[in-house]
Amino acid sequence: MKKHKLSLFLLPLFLLTLLFDLYPQTPPLDRKIDEIVRAITPDLVALRRDIHAHPELSLEEIRTAALVADRFKALGLKVRTGIGGTGVLAVLRGGKPGPVVGFRADMDALPITEETGLPFASTQRAVRDGREVGVMHACGHDVHTTVLLGVATVLSRLKGDIAGTVLFVAQPAEEGGQGARRMLEDGLFKDIKPSAMFAFHVDDAFPAGIIKYVPGYVTANSDGFSLTVFSEGCHGANPHLCVDPIVVGAQVLIALQVMISRQIDVHKDTVITVGSFHAGSASNIVAQRADLKATVRTYGDEQRQAVREKIERTIAGVCQAAGAQYDLDYAQGIPAAYNDPELTKQAKAVASRLLGQANVIQGEAGMVAEDFSYFGREAPAALLWLGAQREGSTATLHSPHFAADEGAIPVGIRVMCAILLDALKRKP
């Protein structure tokens, strides 16, 4: 009985010591950031809903860019607009000298009709390729833009504590991969260049509170080709009188898959998908042409070039064997995004400190493309995945049912503020 009384008395004391033990482990700046994030989150959630309800297609981000620029200006940042179209750059100079680091978010939406049923769902419509389409933030760029503004707000309030400069980049046209390149070609960094660049992309497979990192290649080179195989055309009953472009196209398609399996190192991921194959008009006519369109995904410049050469050789060989004339248009698109391993390790350590080690997960490179890769060619860069899956939802990015969990907004702001401050402590 006596013992029991004693433990009852000691328990609160024990808890108190525990608290005192833990509290000093949270650095004061982390605590300050948390307080500001808590205070500004309701406003940012409202802002995100506004952006979500007013999505704009690539290179048409007029309203979003204006909203972003206004917010940056209200924070007292130096702002440049109209970079590479609708891109915006804001510069935050800290109270002390130091290096320059950057954070980029994309602003554009997709030609998809929203079916989330959310009260702030988009009803916007636009014309794309001559037909009317719905417009929707189905890739979470509304959350990216909001987190960018949130980080700018927090760091503006901590300006005196900041040793260095932070660049905030609001990029147009990530979908289709033109925006980053256009901003850079338009002199985004002509006056001031970062020594490290960071970005988030929402993750549809993990909930808010989780960060996923991938050291090295995180997204793939996205290239492709259009192939047309020509023929004189002849009667379907006498196919020996002309080249059959459908058979040649089919042989090319199969030969490319065999080429991957026999000529590419199994450790060097390569995907070729012929996603479009059109030919012919009737069952008894040998068509005059077959049109194939393909996407080609690889990692690294060397593999990219090697696969291209093998594709060109395979197509030339198959067509020559059939005596077919052809036209090949090979296009290199967005390069693979490379996460600088050291920078990624540092970002991972910061995220682990804030969220706990179990909530920071190593992921694998994806075969999708992200034009953040262009920033990685200017400076060491890291693109991190920000968990944003809504509870009970299995909708993927680019689905009409996808909507990011707003819980990802404060998490993204806290983590990115700390990552940028950590990066500023390092020599460029």
Residues that bind Zn ion (CB under 5 A): 139
- The closest of 321, 313, 316, 317 to 243, measured between CA atoms, is 321
- Sign of the CA dihedral running 245, 249, 254, 256: positive
Smallest separation (angstroms) from Zn ion to the CB of 71: 21
Q: Is 101 helix (H, G, I), strand (E, B) or coil?
A: strand
422 is catalytic: no
Catalytic residue among 60, 142, 174, 405: 174
Measured between alpha carbons, how far is 148 from 159 in angstroms, rounded to an integer? 16
Residue closest to Zn ion, measured at CB: 139
| DSSP-assigned letter for residue 19 | H
Measured between alpha carbons, how far is 287 from 280 in angstroms, rounded to an integer? 5
Smallest separation (angstroms) from Zn ion to the CB of 13: 51
Q: How many CB atoms lie within 10 A of CB 70?
A: 11
Measured between alpha carbons, how far is 338 from 214 in angstroms, rounded to an integer? 9
Smallest separation (angstroms) from Zn ion to the CB of 53: 18
State in Å, rounded, how far the first CA of the chain is from the last one. Answer: 64
Shorter beta-carbon distance to Zn ion: residue 88 or 105: 105
Contact assessment for residue 328 and residue 315, using Cβ atoms and an 8 Å cutoff: yes
Shorter beta-carbon distance to Zn ion: residue 77 or 139: 139
The CA-CA-CA angle for residues 215, 221, 226, to 5°, reads 165
Smallest separation (angstroms) from Zn ion to the CB of 272: 21
Tokens for 160? 């005196």
Q: Could you write out the DSSP letters of every residue in 215-234?
A: SEE-S-EEEEEEEEEE---E
- Distances in Å between the alpha carbon of 193 and those of 91, 168, 304, 378, 427? 11, 12, 28, 8, 14
Shorter beta-carbon distance to Zn ion: residue 59 or 139: 139
Shorter beta-carbon distance to Zn ion: residue 139 or 243: 139
Shorter beta-carbon distance to Zn ion: residue 248 or 409: 409
SS3 content of the chain, % helix, strand, coil (to 5): 40, 30, 30
CA of residue 286 relative to chain centroid, distance: 44
Which amino acid appears at position 216 of this protein?
G
Shorter beta-carbon distance to Zn ion: residue 180 or 292: 180
Smallest separation (angstroms) from Zn ion to the CB of 83: 19
Smallest separation (angstroms) from Zn ion to the CB of 49: 19
Smallest separation (angstroms) from Zn ion to the CB of 332: 20
Tokens for 254? 């199969």
43 is catalytic: no
Catalytic residue among 108, 114, 142, 370: 108
Measured between alpha carbons, how far is 287 from 243 in angstroms, rounded to an integer? 9
Smallest separation (angstroms) from Zn ion to the CB of 370: 7
Measured between alpha carbons, how far is 208 from 200 in angstroms, rounded to an integer? 13
Measured between alpha carbons, how far is 378 from 307 in angstroms, rounded to an integer? 25
- Using CB atoms within 10 Å of the CB of residue 41, give its burial: 0 to 12 exposed, 13 to 18 middle, 19+ buried: middle
Smallest separation (angstroms) from Zn ion to the CB of 367: 13
Kind plus residue range of the DSSP H or E element containing 268: none
Mind telling me the catalytic residues?
A: 108, 174
